[in-house]
């Protein structure tokens, strides 16, 4: 049975994995998610972990993407340097079992003295292009723990930059001197926008963060608004990085609606229009686009 | 018995307190340190905690400085706005028991849209001036969890800025994705200096931090050098903030010798000479300078 007749696609991340059974017409017939992410599996345990997926979904070819191709995964799939197209990604698949089990490689970018890597977002991004969720040329903002700014030109990824916005917010919310002020959810009101404006000025984060405490102590910022301000500050700095890559390209925000909304407000504060798209089906679309190219 | 005949000075911080018995000639006759910092004492417990100090060192006037004057301390001593001199600090003492027990107020700065506070460093800084450890006009860098840049003009503090460098380094070392790379001690070698240079370019911290991971994965930075690079990056950003306040003033680094050395190397990377001074006796000198001004 070849790839064109259907296959299994697995989004295999650090803490969980999600597997999809796709038929020859591209429909998803069955799927499951479990907490058997890369960190939960010993290096020698990957063949058994993959067999378990086939036991549930069928004895079919299997396309794996995400951290399963990292140094802590099954087999390291070397990064493909940018610029990279969907065709190159397919040619550079890392075959664990020839013809039967392949890992999608991640991408690297070393342009302009920056050093960056992605693993897992590339298949979603190419899927979003293949499914016409996003245009073939754009700057795509992909918010999350590690926000990715991805420059897409004529269907290829030419450059990208990761900003550790979500992780930094979590660190500050859970630990350290500001955590006592940062309990509530974030709203995109005036304190958020004030933070954004400070961030867009490319202020120095470690200096601004202490000022949050001082603002609260001196009465210039309400304690309940501190999390909004910090979120705005981090996203404002983040937007500044992204717009530096963007040129005149259309700004697309692809991710969780709550986060996308914050980035949309922040982009508007920078005088930049943006469009939010849901990326929910992008992974499957990317897997199908790669699967259809495998001979 | 008046203040001129001797008094007790207490450096009462968040997690511990250090008390000194000073005689009329300024000599320290006895001292002790214990873990009874502000957080260890209930609000109603401060009179007893102060009485305990007098039981150990004598029934004398007492000058308290540090977080004991914060909202979580004994009595809140309102911040004195910059510019502030030693005379103003003395006039604005917060008297808990008139003539007998005083708390030194902290300072605030709201110049140029910044918001900043200090509590505890001001007495050390004025002490260092009084003891001629530092000149009467300088920019003083006071490294620690929260590094303070303090602008001193003709013996007064005219402005200051706090940068959360030490706290951020600890957060990154203990939590999050970079912590696995950051186990060793920091050395001021080439990876540190490369980080400093990135920081001096006012790069965006959250973007640079992810690049540390990418540099290691792509082989541009040794895993063992990651902590040096991150430290350099944070201190480079910090130095950039400080030199923005400094003008042509002499740059003095006052603090723990290991940290002072890192800031010295980073300042040199920015083309700026600096001089390190030990601040060990500055607190006592500051307490004596204030005590001698009390009628």
How far is Cα of residue B229 from the mean position of the Cα atoms in its chain?
Answer: 24
**Which of B114, B207, B241 minimises the CB distance to A241?**
B207
In contact, B169 and B230? CB cutoff 8 Å: yes
Residues of A in contact with B170 (CB under 8 A): 176
CB A68 within 8 Å of CB A74: yes
Closest residue to A204, CB basis, from B110, B175, B240: B240
- Can you count the helices (H) and strands (E) in chain B? 9, 14
Query: In sequence order, what DSSP letters do the residues of B224-289 get, joined into one string?
Result: GGHHHHHHHHHHHHHHHHHHHHHTTPPEEEES-HHHHHHHHHHHHHTT---EEE--TTHHHHHHHH
How close does chain B come to A205, measured CA to CA in Å?
Answer: 7
ipTM of the complex: 0.92
**Chain-centre distance for alpha carbon A160:** 11
Which of A211, A237, A266 has the highest number of chain B CBs within 10 A, making it the mutation to test binding with B?
Answer: A211
Is residue B280 scored above 80 in pLDDT? no
| Residue numbers in B near A163 (CB within 8 A) | 204, 206-207, 210
Contact B117 A209 (CB under 8 A): no
Average pLDDT for residues B89-111, to the nearest whole number? 96
Residues of A in contact with B209 (CB under 8 A): 164, 168
Q: CB-based contact (8 Å) between A146 and chain B?
A: yes
Task: Check pLDDT > 60 for residue B162.
Answer: yes
- Is residue A99 within 8 Å of A61, Cβ to Cβ? yes
For chain B, the structural domain boundaries read: 3-133, 162-277
The answer to whether the CB of A60 falls within 8 A of the CB of A21 is yes
CATH architecture of the domain with range B162-277: 2-Layer Sandwich (3.30)
In tens digits, what is the pLDDT along chain A, a chain of 295 residues? 578 889 999 999 988 999 999 998 999 999 999 999 999 999 899 999 999 999 999 999 999 999 999 999 999 999 999 999 999 999 999 999 999 999 999 999 998 788 999 999 999 999 999 999 999 999 999 998 999 999 999 999 999 999 999 999 999 999 988 998 998 899 999 999 999 999 999 999 999 999 999 999 999 999 999 999 999 999 999 999 999 998 888 999 998 899 999 999 999 999 999 999 987 789 999 999 999 999 7
Contact between A89 and A104 under an 8 Å Cβ cutoff? The reply is yes
A158 touches chain B (CB under 8 A): no
pLDDT of the residue at B184: 83
Q: What is the pLDDT of residues B193-239, one digit of tens each?
A: 999 999 999 999 999 999 999 999 999 999 999 999 999 999 999 99
CATH 3.30.420.300 fits A3-133, yes or no: yes
Inter-chain residue contact B214 with A146, CB threshold 8 Å: no
Cα B34–B36–B42 angle (5° rounding)? Answer: 170
Distance from CA of B279 to the nearest CA of A (A): 23
As a whole number, mean pLDDT of residues B124-141 equals 96
Convert the pLDDT of each residue in A88-121 to its tens digit. 999 999 999 999 999 999 999 998 788 999 999 9
Residues A199, B147, A224: CA angle, nearest 5 degrees: 50
Chain A interface mutation, best of B145, B164, B200, highest count of A Cβ atoms under 10 Å: B164
HSE, side-chain direction, 13 A CA sphere, residue A176: 27
- The pair of structure tokens assigned to B87 is 């005379």
The answer to whether the A3-133 and A162-277 domains have the same CATH topology is yes
Given its phi and psi angles, is residue B132 left (phi above 0), alpha (psi -120 to 50 degrees) or beta? left
Q: Which structure tokens are listed for A204?
A: 């120095």
A205 interaction partners in chain B (CB closer than 8 Å): 168, 204-206, 237
Task: Report the C-alpha gap between B262 and A19 in whole angstroms.
Answer: 49
């Amino acid at each position: 049975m070849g790839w064109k007749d259907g296959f299994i696609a697995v989004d295999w991340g650090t803490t969980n994995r999600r597997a999809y059974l796709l038929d020859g017409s591209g429909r998803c017939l069955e799927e499951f998610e479990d907490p058997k992410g890369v960190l939960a599996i010993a290096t020698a345990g990957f063949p058994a972990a993959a067999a378990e997926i086939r036991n549930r979904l069928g004895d079919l070819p299997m396309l794996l993407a995400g951290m399963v191709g990292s140094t802590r995964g099954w087999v390291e799939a070397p990064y493909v340097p940018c610029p990279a197209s969907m065709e190159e990604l397919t040619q550079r698949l890392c075959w664990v079992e020839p013809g039967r089990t392949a890992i999608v490689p991640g991408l690297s970018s070393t342009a302009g003295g920056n050093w960056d890597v992605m693993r897992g977002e590339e298949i979603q991004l190419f899927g979003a292009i293949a499914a016409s969720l996003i245009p073939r040329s754009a700057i795509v903002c992909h918010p999350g723990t590690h926000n990715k700014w991805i420059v897409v030109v004529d269907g290829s990824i030419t450059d990208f930059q990761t900003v550790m916005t979500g992780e930094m917010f979590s660190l500050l919310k859970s630990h350290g001197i500001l955590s006592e002020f940062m309990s509530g959810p974030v709203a995109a009101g005036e304190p958020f926008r004030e933070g954004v404006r400070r961030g867009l000025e490319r202020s120095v984060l470690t200096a601004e963060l202490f000022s949050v405490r001082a603002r609260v102590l001196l009465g210039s910022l309400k304690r309940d608004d501190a999390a909004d301000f910090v979120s705005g500050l981090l996203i404002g700095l983040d937007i500044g990085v992204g717009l530096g890559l963007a040129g005149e390209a259309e700004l697309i925000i692809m991710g969780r609606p709550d986060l996308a909304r914050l980035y949309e407000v922040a982009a508007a504060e920078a005088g930049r229009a943006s469009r939010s798209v849901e990326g929910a089906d992008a992974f499957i679309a990317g897997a199908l686009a790669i699967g259809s190219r495998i001979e």
